[in-house]
Amino acid sequence: MTNPNERQLITEIVALARNQGLTVHSDNAQLNETGMDFQVVFAEDDTGMPWVLRKPRRSDVVERAASEGRTLAFLRANLTADVPDWKIHTPELIAYPKLSGTPAAGIDLEQKQYVWNMNHQPPSDDFVHTLAEILAELHGMNQTSADQSGIEVVMPEDFRKMTAESMADVKNKFGVSKQLWERWQTWINDDAYWPGFSALIHGDLHPPHILIDQNEHVTGLLDWTEAKVADPAKDFVFYHMIFGEKETARLLECYDQAGGRVWSKMQDHISEMQAAYPLEIAKFALQTQQEEHVNMALEALGESKLD
């Protein structure tokens, strides 16, 4: 059962869609509040087709959505996996027909943990192979074409420099534990970790953004807000965080076999990038300026929370 506040929000978001000429209905519509950037409603139109309605939570999300729209247009023309096809894109609302498939996991907000829709201890061969194939295809896309489509391109040396600058900025604004800071510095200063190339990446590849069919084949990817041409290791960080070293090695082996570009210290680099993930949380907190996000960042950085 939805509570009155949820019902009101569903009605509001459905009204935004109807104002754009999309005749979706609030009856049986469902609200999903798990995303950091969007409030999402799943609703059906007159024909029974299910739609995804995304309402931005903040103004900075609207700016980044324009970039996501360009990325999706490029991907729909070039990637074999399913991606959203935005039919409505305004500052107030994004709407697209719901893709087939089920997210590999949802999120339980109260427990703050994944609710899995697949075997994950360990993931099935079908899941691993199809994810590896999609990542190899994505990372192998033509960067010149991506650039011409308006997708941000970050060269390898620039990505490393930006990471170092983020470290210094976050240390200055939040503080970083001594142990974590020393680990970051060892990583950032060792050439052996870092790839000499960039690739088109998803940038936020965690289970709710991965769609699977009933056989656990990966069929599509959602939420391309963080997509850019950058360090390909970033697309393996959540996987490493969730499944650990052994399963990441298995995925990388399949990725290599599918034509993905692997270097000798790639898995070590992924591990170190995971250790630097508090940077992402801190940058997000700086964007939102919300106390809850600031405290998340401070905890991840090994610093004291705000009172």
Cα(first)–Cα(last) distance of the chain, in Å?
35
Selection from 207, 249, 247, 198 nearest residue 227 by Cα:
198
Q: Out of 204, 223, 231, 235, which one is annotated catalytic?
A: 204
Alpha helices in the chain (DSSP H): 4-19, 59-78, 125-139, 143-148, 156-173, 178-188, 237-257, 266-275, 278-288, 291-300
Cα-flanking dihedrals φ and ψ of residue 244, to 5°? 90, 180
- Residue 204 annotated to the active site: yes
Token pair of 7 as six digits: 């019902």
| Alpha carbons within 13 A on the beta-carbon side of 167 | 21
Alpha-carbon gap, residue 214 to 217, rounded angstroms: 7
Contacts of 276 (CB under 8 A, 6+ apart): 163, 167, 184, 187
Cα-flanking dihedrals φ and ψ of residue 7, to 5°? -60, -40
Token pair of 45 as six digits: 């139109």
List active site positions. 204
